[in-house]
Amino acid sequence: MHFLITPRRRLGVALTKQEISSAPFIKGDVHIGEDRNSVLGRATMVASVFSTAPGCPDALPPLFDANITSMATLGLNISGIEEVEGVFYFQSWWCRIE
């Protein structure tokens, strides 16, 4: 599904409501599915964002052990673990429709 996505954490630290509101969003196509992860050594639910802009790479690192933690009429939150430079951090994405 296509959303405007705003990460809610930076290296595992929660952003304030003001920081989230003023942060730039990423427009992308969110996919969630089960996949085997070689680093974790097991199957995991993975959320991935694919940029909708032509020629752009994946917009965000994938979330492992992804769960939809809340959902309402115009959006949802997906939480999980992201890998940044070999380190795993908790992350949450605020996904909303345009």
Q: What is the DSSP code (8-state) at residue 25?
A: P
Which of the two residues, 98 and 44, has the higher pLDDT score?
44
Q: Which two tokens stand for residue 72?
A: 């309402």
The confidence score (pLDDT) of residue 9 equals 95
pTM above 0.95, yes or no: no
- CB contact set of 47 (below 8 Å; sequence gap of 6+): 30, 31, 32, 62, 63, 66, 78, 80, 93
**45-68, pLDDT tens digit by residue?**
999 998 766 666 667 899 999 999
Q: Is 77 helix (H, G, I), strand (E, B) or coil?
A: strand
**68-94, pLDDT tens digit by residue?**
999 999 999 999 999 999 999 999 999
Mean pLDDT of 28-45: 89
- CB contact set of 62 (below 8 Å; sequence gap of 6+): 46, 47, 48, 49, 82
Q: Where are the domains of the chain?
A: 2-96
